Amino acid sequence: MKYEDVVKDAFGYVKIIFAGFSGRHDESHTMRVYKNAMKIAKEYPSCDMDIVSLAALLHDVDDYKLFDTKNNANARYFLDGEHVDKDTTDKVCRAINEISFSRNNGKSPDTLEGQIVQDAVRLDSIGAIGIARVFSHEGRSYEDSIARFDEKLLLLKDLMNTPKAKQMAVERHEFMVRFLEEFKKEVE
């Protein structure tokens, strides 16, 4: 079953659920993740585009840092309201649950769809956008921000799951390395 209308409705749901949010996890972030996921997914005809689309759009609607929900309540609420079948809903929620860097200890998802969405999220954490997101974290010092690159961001290029995402990550990674070199020169 194709869920083109559900995907269109998910854009509206994301706009509503992230109204008032700004920064690292908001509507703009979600749209960038969606676009990255679609670029990657086009390279893999065997993937289920409905699962990729919906998981990319709904990946943060139950993020524990933003919402106090259990069992993907916001995602399930939306999918149930759209009359998405249980199997598809479960696959979308599984993909969402498998993408977190911190919650899954860097582990790769078991499904191609989950790997694609995880790669899309990781791509939004590196490059110019990644730099901006790190420094937009309220209350984080320059030193803590720079440490974040070593703790996570500089690792992500080598943790990409798909060849397409690995290719996309190279330029973004190199940009971060150049930025850090310049930053360190200027603060010394």
User: Tokens 């997101």 belong to which residue?
Assistant: 133
Give the separation between CA 155 and CA 122, rounded to whole angstroms.
Answer: 10
Could you give the domains of the chain? 4-187 (1.10.3210.50)
**Whole-prediction pTM:** 0.92
- Dmax (CA) for the chain in angstroms is 58
pLDDT digits (tens, 9 = 90+) for 132-141: 989 887 788 8
User: Tokens 């603060």 belong to which residue?
Assistant: 187
- Tokens in use for 168? 């996309």
Pick the residue with more confidence: 123 or 103? 123
pLDDT category of residue 82 using cuts at 50, 70 and 90:
very high
- Tokens in use for 126? 């590196």
Are the beta carbons of 113 and 119 closer than 8 angstroms? no
Write down the mean pLDDT value for the chain: 92
The yes-or-no verdict on residue 106 having pLDDT over 80 is no
pLDDT digits (tens, 9 = 90+) for 38-59: 999 999 999 999 999 999 999 9
